[in-house]
Amino acid sequence: MSDNGDLDRTKIELRGVGKRFERHRQEPLTVLDSVDLTVAEKGFLSIVGPSGSGKSTLLFMIAGLEAPTSGEVLVEGQPIKGPSADRGVVFQEDAIFPWRTVRRNVEYGLALRGVPKQERRERVDRYLELVKLTGFEGLYPRQLSGGMKKRVAIAEVLVNEPQVLLLDEPFGALDYVTKISLQEELGRIWQRARLTTVMVTHDIEEALFLSDRVVVLRDGGLRYDVTVPFERPRPHELRNEPRFTELKERLWSEIGPAARSAPVVENQA
C-alpha cells in the first residue's frame, strides 16, 4: 500500500477512557474500564463485541456526544470538547429528517455552516452520485426503502468531508442482501475517500470485510486486537476464502460464548 506512512500517524487517541453510570440505590455500573486505544490516520478500525459491551458508548465518546467519566479522548493530540462537524456519525437508526427531501437532508450540515447555495448544490449532487441516489433528490424519506435511507444517511455525513467517520452498527437493521451490497459499496466509497474511520458492529464478517484492524471489546475493556491483512479492493469472494474464515473463527472465539469464561488478553497488531 502506498500510504503506509499515513497509517503510522495517530489520528485518535483514547487514554484510560472509562464510563460509569450512577444508579439509584445500586452500585454504579461500569461499562468501560480504562480503555487505551489509538486509531491511525486514514485507517479503518472496527470495534466488535457482544451487545451491552459498551461499543456504542465508546463511539459516542469519540464523537463528543457522551463524556467519559475518566480518561480523555484526543483527536490530533487535542482533547475533544464536544461534537464537531469534523467527526461525522452514521447512526444505527437513520438520522434523517422525514420532513426534508433527500436533497435537503444531505445539505443540512452545509446549510448549517453557511455554505453558499451554488456550492451546496454541487456538493450534494456529487455525493448523491457517490451513493447512487441521483434522481431521488426530491423524494421524502417515507418514499425510500431501508437501503436507500441508509445511503442518504451516509451521504449526509460524507458531504461535509469530515476528517473522521464514525459508524454505529450502520447496517444492523437491514435485510441480508441489502446489507451485503451496502457493505461492498461502503468499501468502494471508503477506498476513494480514505478517511479515518471507526465502526462499531456485532457482525464479525462485516468488520473483517471492511477494516484494516479489528478490536474486541468485552467485559469493559479491549480483549483482542488484530490487523486485517487483505488487500483492497476486496472482492465479494473474499468472504469464502480460508484466510478470511479462519480469522472470522478466531474473532468468534474471542466474542462468542466460549470467551466469556476465560478472558484472553493478546495483541497481534
List contacts with other proteins (CB under 8 A).
60, 63-65, 82-85, 87-89, 91-100, 108-109, 112-113, 140-142, 156, 160
Interatomic CA distance for residues 62 and 78, integer angstroms: 12
Interatomic CA distance for residues 41 and 201, integer angstroms: 20
Pick between residue 38 and residue 84 the one whose CB is nearest to other proteins.
84
Shortest distance, CB of residue 89 to other proteins, whole angstroms? Answer: 5
Give the C-alpha distances (Å, rounded to integers) separating 141 from 91, 178, 195.
16, 17, 27
Pick between residue 168 and residue 254 the one whose CB is nearest to other proteins.
168
Shortest distance, CB of residue 162 to other proteins, whole angstroms? Answer: 9
Pick between residue 23 and residue 113 the one whose CB is nearest to other proteins.
113
Shortest distance, CB of residue 157 to other proteins, whole angstroms? Answer: 8
Shortest distance, CB of residue 42 to other proteins, whole angstroms? Answer: 20
The stretches of the chain forming alpha helices (DSSP H) are 4-8, 55-63, 102-106, 108-112, 117-130, 146-158, 176-193, 204-210, 242-255, 257-261
What number of CA atoms fall less than 13 Å from residue 77's CA on the CB side? 1
Pick between residue 108 and residue 136 the one whose CB is nearest to other proteins.
108
Shortest distance, CB of residue 88 to other proteins, whole angstroms? Answer: 6
Rg (alpha carbons) of the chain, rounded to whole number = 19
Pick between residue 157 and residue 251 the one whose CB is nearest to other proteins.
157
